[in-house]
Chain A
Amino acid sequence: MVLQKVELHTPMSPLDESGQTFNPGQTGSTPAPPPEAFIEDGPLAFCNPLRIRHRRGWFRSGENRLNLQRLQGRERESDSPFTSVPVREEMMGKYSNLSSESHNISLTEHSSMPVEKNITLESSSIITLTCQYTTLGNLNSINVTWKKDDELLKNFSLAITGNTLYTEYTTTVINSKQMGSYSCLFEDEKEQRGTFNIKVPELHGKNKPLITYVGDSTVLVCKCQHCYPLHWTWYRSNGSIQVPIDVHTKEKYVVSGAYRNETKLKIKHLLEEDGGSYWCHAVFQLGESEEQLELVVLSFLVPLKPFLAIIAEAVVLVAVILLCEVYTQKKKKHPDEGKEFEQIEQLKSDDSNGIENNAPRQRKNESVSQ
């Protein structure tokens, strides 16, 4: 079943031409129609009149060449431009807390390729993507297509106002299959393309390797600034394969986290084999996002070598300084000793002369006495 939305042209439309949000309950002049829901094959689509902005509305068939196919089911016969069908209540409850977002890309015939917009989603949402193409040429001859990752999409709407062609695609994103790149293509003389990249939030952390020593314990931290994952998981990698970490061995690994947007892995009693790459995965409803952390485990010998080298150098320096001092002091003493030595030599020579003189006398005396 294909559902399209078309533009409301009547000047008496409850829509505010200036583009403000129309809330039927607030104007007071028209009865507030109930919020409507469409049921399609596949994802559930809501159309909430509170979200009607800028030239959007419902068009009864026949007044324009843009078609409105009717829904199967009961249609209210009234002057209200809205249609409604009964919605299964259990489905209402299931999706009533979905948030909804809308994003817009503007293109002209002179836009430089490619025009992209990044959308970050954590949990299920209703996404409305709008592309508008402004040109002075003939808008009717432009072929408009929507693609998701090269696959053609069908349930989009078209409207023309003045020089601008509006096209809109709404989808409900409930699991990772609906994530990806959605593109609107306008084929004029040149193909103009606008791309919406719907992704889960990415983790950005410091990429410095963490250096630790054998026997120490360390903490690896993963944080996400503005996102709140459902849970976190940790992996180690051997080469290219990521192996989950068994966090139930309390002696080695402890996972903790003070807040929902961070996780800490404490590794105790580090060994050299514990070094390598660690991965933290943030698991969202719509997918996973990962970050790599590097751990280096050193043994104490690594800084010990430069330590001993520097100590040896300091010891050598001290020895050199002290030896230099002893040497210079010896030099100072030597000139003095030199003078004394000469004096002693002179005295000795005098003495020896005296002794030599004495000795013969003694011998002579002795010989005489005998």
Chain B
Amino acid sequence: MAGRAEPPDGGWGWMVVLSAFFMSALVFGVLRSFGVFFVEFVAAFEEQAARVSWIASIGIAVQQFGSPIGSALSTKFGPRPVVMTGGILAALGMLLASFATSLPHLYLSIGLLSGSGWALTFTPTLACLSRYFSCRRSLAMGLALTGVGLSSFAFAPLFQWLLNRYAWRGALLLVSALSCHIVACGALLRPLSLAEDTAVGGPGAQLTSLLHHGPFLRYTVALTLINTGYFVPYVHLVAHLQDLGWDPLSAAFLLSVAAISDLVGRVASGWLGDAVPGPVARLLMLWTTLTGVSLALFPVAQASIALVVLAVAYGFTSGALTPVAFSVLPELVGTGRIYCGLGLLQMVESVGGLLGAPLSGYLRDVTGNYTASFVVAGAFLLAGSGILITLPHFFSCFSAPTSSPQDLVTEALDAKVSLPREEGLGEE
């Protein structure tokens, strides 16, 4: 069957945006709001806080490391069956967790089972979205990823209400029912065949070609570095503010302000990414540099006004780099290899994400305050943005068309940037 030459850039694509919106809400919104369950688990299982927080960490790790598998399966079978299976797995994991009698039980059910469900869901959906759009890809990405931010506003109070009414067992049961809607999101992902699909071959061939793809590898390194620094504010900002003498309520409020500006940044950057000609990688470099600078300035700011401004700036710029990061990838590797590219990207950059927060914590323990942590995080971001300059067509005045197989080779790494945020918030 002959595929289309160009992505539809609309039409059913907007339904895919809707699907991606709800999916990112149900995957990362749930992960982020899991902190609400944290207190209940500590009391119910009489375990230490560190051991309970492993539940979310395992879930995030499985989701990230399992991404290539989700991608490979999507390449072979199309995104729809894979995402629907992922939804069923995620819901099943939560269902089994509601019967848990000990903490390892939760590690396996939520961490492993739901985590693998999420692995089969997130990457294929976003990759499918990239295939549906070319001119408005960044905007579509930005709109879809707002689901993460909005859901963490909605789910945290919702989960707390569920806990008050049904205790943690009943609440997990209902979160499982909620996760079933991922299956509905998957049903919306109509398969799309594009012209270059036949050119790039099956998942094994794609993975091999990606691993030999210079720009893709460079992009992977850049995003890994970006990921390392990206999470630090979400994990340590509250503690840093309390060190400066802020009370917990004001500190949490500041995080909410940053989250709102993050939301605005995502949509604005998505629109900008499509409106500005030239490779999207340049915008990514701009946002990454600004994020790195605002991070590095955090220790310098002492006055409340300065901190609020910096938090807003950080929120906006880090939200802005998210959709752009996903958009650069199709430009580099092409929409034919997007599934595998995205999966591989997620897996490698997760190393940065998993190392970033503990490294920052270690620096804090060694130096006694967060100055070193924030400066190092900013440095990682700037290093990552530096590597972005090495991407092909960086200095050209027009953007390369995304459908031709030659361009597939040059795009690679857009997807990663949004991921660090979601991952780090599991620790909140």
Contacts and interface: CB of A to CB of B under 8 A. Distances in A.
A219 B165 CA distance: 18
A306 interface: yes
Interface in B146-185: 164-167, 169-171, 173-174, 176-178, 180-181, 183-184
Contacts of A314: 177, 180-181, 183-184
Contacts of B170: 211, 213, 298, 302-303
A306 B183 CA distance: 18
A101 interface: no
Contact of A321 (B166, B174, B184): B184
Nearest to A213: B169
Given A302-B170, A303-B170, A325-B190, A310 B180 contact: yes
Contact of A311 (B165, B166, B177, B188): B177
Interface residues of A, number: 22
B174 A311 contact: no
A327 interface: no
A208 B164 contact: yes
Contact of B174 (A211, A300, A310, A325): A310
Interface string B128-151: 000000000000000000000000
Interface string A199-227: 00000000010011100100100000000
Contact of A318 (B164, B174, B187): B187
A307 interface: yes
A322 interface: yes
A304 interface: yes
Given A298-B170, A303-B170, A307-B174, A317 B165 contact: no
Contacts of A315: 180
A212 B177 contact: no
Nearest to B170: A303
Interface string A318-356: 100110010000000000000000000000000000000
Contacts of B84: 318
A257 B254 CA distance: 39
A213 B166 CA distance: 9
Interface in B1-49: 43, 46
A269 to B, nearest CB: 13
Given A212-B167, A213-B169, A303-B170, A321 B177 contact: no
B165 A211 contact: yes
Given A211-B167, A212-B167, A213-B169, A303 B184 contact: no
A314 B176 CA distance: 11
Contacts of A208: 164
A259 B194 CA distance: 69
B163 to A, nearest CB: 8
A324 to B, nearest CB: 10
B83 to A, nearest CB: 12
A232 to B, nearest CB: 20
Closest 3 CB pairs of A and B: A303-B170, A310-B177, A211-B167
8 contacts: A211-B166, A298-B167, A306-B177, A307-B177, A310-B177, A314-B181, A314-B183, A318-B184
